[in-house]
Amino acid sequence: MMVRRSRNLMVLPADIPVAWRIAGGRRRYNAARRRARNERRAQITALVLASERPCVATFRQGWGKQLAASLGVHPSVISRDFAAIRETIVLPTPCCKPCARFAAEQRERRRLSSLSLRRSLGRILPPEAVERILRTAE
């Protein structure tokens, strides 16, 4: 059967069963691509989580290109996958040793800063006033 299509590939109303077949084929094709994409993203997510630093793995120079070659897709596909994964991934806390060290340093810095503030205020104010000020500052 000959399929009549207008310029934008819409099938004319006279061929409705043909239109349904074409739409079904397109739906199946898109579904297969969507499945392949989801499987690929799950695979990449697993690799990211297994890496030493999952928080920065998707930014590692050259890894996207390497993955693209091994998965048989264009590097821009991996780039889009990385962007999507960054949006959805849930990292453990702390995600890696450097991040854990950084968080510990930040905690220590805050502790020392509040200690120093408490001491400075303690020199000019009574203890109740210092407590009140520190409570409202938190």
Would you say 27 or 97 has its CB closer to Zn ion?
97
121 binds Zn ion (CB under 5 A): no
Question: Number of residues in contact with Zn ion, rule: CB under 5 A?
Answer: 4
Chosen residue from 18, 71, 84, 99 binding Zn ion by CB under 5 A? 99
Footprint of Zn ion on 36-95 (CB under 5 A): 55, 95
State how far the Cα of 91 lies from the Cα of 99, in Å rounded to an integer: 12
For Zn ion, which is the closer residue by CB, 11 or 54? 54
By CB under 5 A, what part of segment 4-43 binds Zn ion? none
Minimal distance, residue 3 CB to Zn ion, in Å: 55
Q: Kindly list the residues in this chain that would bind Zn ion in the complex (CB under 5 A).
A: 55, 95-96, 99
